[in-house]
Amino acid sequence: MASKLLLRILTAARPGIQAGKLKMQDIVSEYFKQTGGKTIDPGERAIIENEFIEFAPSNVTTPDAFKGFLNEGEIVNKPSVRPGKINYAAMEEKLGTKLRGDETFDELLEIEKGGQGIGSMIPKEFRGYNRGPGGEFTKIPSPVHMDDIIASEKPIDKSIIKNWAQRDDYAKFIRKMRGKDFENKDIRKIVTGSGGDIAEGKRSATSVARAAEMVADTTKKQEVLSELDEMKLDKGPRWWKGDDRYKYSEGPMGRDDFGDMTSRLNDKIYYSVMDDLDALVGEEKSYEILKFVDQKNYRTDPDAFIQALKQEIESSAIKYDMTFWENYVDEIMQLTTADVPMFRTGGLV
C-alpha cells in the first residue's frame, strides 16, 4: 500500500520533477506527510532515486536527500548511481547496448537517437488507454484498476509503460536478431512493420532470415521465395511428390509428369532471372545475354540449366548472383523426390 501511494505521489509530481522544480527532499516530505511515517526503506528509496534518474533534467544534482530520514544506526550502501546521477546499469538495460560507464547524458541521448538502443524500437502501451487497430490510443471507458483510473483522468503519459512483459519479449527478440548480425535499421523496420505484434514481428524476422539464408538479394528473388514458402504451408506431400493412386495420376507439383514439372520450373527461373536483368541492365541487354541458352536441352535438368544461365551471365561481365536459384532448385528437388518404397510388388521387401 505504501509503495502504491509513493508511486501516486511520484506520478503527480512528475511534471515538477521534469521541470527541475521539485527535489527528492520534497517527495520524501510529502510521502511522510501522507503516511505519517518518519523512515523509508531501501526499496522506496530506490523508487524515488530511479524516478529522478529517469525524469529530472541533467542540471539537477543528486544530493543525499535521505539524510535524517533513515533509521538510527542504519548502514547506507554507497549509491550505485555515478556522478551526474546516471544509473549506467539501468541505462544499459534500457538501451540494450553495452556502455563504457562514463557516458554523459548527451552521449546517451545520441545513442538512443542513433538507434543503437532497443528502447525506441519496442511498441509501448500506456496506462489508462487502449490501443486501436490503427495504433491510435483512446481512454479506457470504465477503468477498474487504480493506475488506469488515475491515468485516464490526465493526458496520455508516454513515459509510463504498461506492457513490461511484452517489452521484455521484444528485447529478447531484438538481442537475438543482433546475434544473427542483423543491423538496427533492419530490426527497426521489422518491429515497425509488425504494428507492435510480437508474433507478427517474429514472423517478419523469420522472412528476413530466410531471405538471407537463401541469398534472395533482389525483389524478384524474394517474391519467388515467398511463393515457395506459401506452397510449402498449403500443399501436402502428395502434391509435391505426385499422386499415383488413380488411373489418371498426377506428377509432382500438380504437373502431368516429372518432365513437365522441371520444364515449368526452368521457365519460371528463366523469366525471373530475365526480370532481374531487365532492372539491372535494361530489356535489350538482358535478352542479348540469355538468348543463346536453349531451354529444350535442359528440360529435365534444372541444375544444368542454372549453370548454363550462370555461364552466359558471367561471360557478359554482369554482376548477378545465381546462388539463390541454385538453392531454390535444391529445395524443390528435395520436396519432389519420391520416398523410398517400403514394399516391393505388393510384398515385404
- Are 151 and 160 within 8 A, CB to CB? yes
- Where residue 345 falls among pLDDT bands split at 50, 70, 90? low
* Every domain of the chain and the residues it spans: 2-85, 164-214, 238-336
Given this model, what pLDDT does residue 330 score?
Answer: 94
66-96 per-position pLDDT tens digit: 443 433 333 333 344 434 456 777 666 666 6
The answer to which of 106-120, 292-306, 307-321 has the lowest mean pLDDT is 106-120
Q: Which of 6-10, 160-164, 274-278, 280-284 has the lowest mean pLDDT?
A: 160-164
Angle formed by the axes of helices 24-35 and 2-18, nearest 10°: 150
First CA to last CA distance, the chain: 75
Neighbours of 238 (CB within 10 A): 13
Does residue 343 carry a pLDDT above 60? no
Helix, strand, or coil (residue 227): helix
Residue 311 has a pLDDT of 92
Q: At what angle do helices 42-55 and 24-35 cross, to 10 degrees?
A: 140
Q: What is the pLDDT of residue 65?
A: 45
Question: pLDDT tens, 98-138?
Answer: 677 777 766 666 666 555 566 666 666 778 888 776 667 88
Note the pLDDT tens digit of each residue in 266-297: 999 999 999 999 999 998 898 899 888 988 88
* Residue 190, pLDDT score: 76
Query: What's the CA dihedral at 204, 208, 211, 213 to 10 degrees?
Result: -120
For residue 328, give the nearest of 190, 217, 201, 254 by alpha carbon. 217
Provide the percentage of residues in the chain whose pLDDT is more than 90: 18
| pLDDT band with cut points at 50, 70 and 90 for residue 323 | very high
Stronger pLDDT, 87 or 341, i.e. the higher one:
87
Q: Is the pLDDT of residue 302 over 80?
A: yes
Q: What is the structure's pLDDT at 13?
A: 83
Identify the pLDDT of residue 264: 93
- Distance between CA 82 and CA 62 in Å, rounded? 10
Reported as a pLDDT band with limits 50, 70 and 90, residue 265 is: very high
Please state, rounded to an integer, the average pLDDT across all residues of the chain. Answer: 76
User: What is the reported pLDDT for 310?
Assistant: 92
Average pLDDT over residues 29-54: 80
User: What pLDDT score does 341 carry?
Assistant: 58
pLDDT at 165: 67
Residue 326 scores a pLDDT above 50: yes
Query: Is the model more confident about 135 or about 42?
Result: 42
| Residue 47 DSSP SS3 | helix
Share of the chain above pLDDT 70, in %: 71
Count of beta carbons in the 10 Å neighbourhood of residue 185 = 9
Mean pLDDT across 165-193: 73
Give dist(CA 34, CA 28) in Å, integer.
Answer: 10
Q: Decide: 87 and 62 in contact? Cβ < 8 Å.
A: no
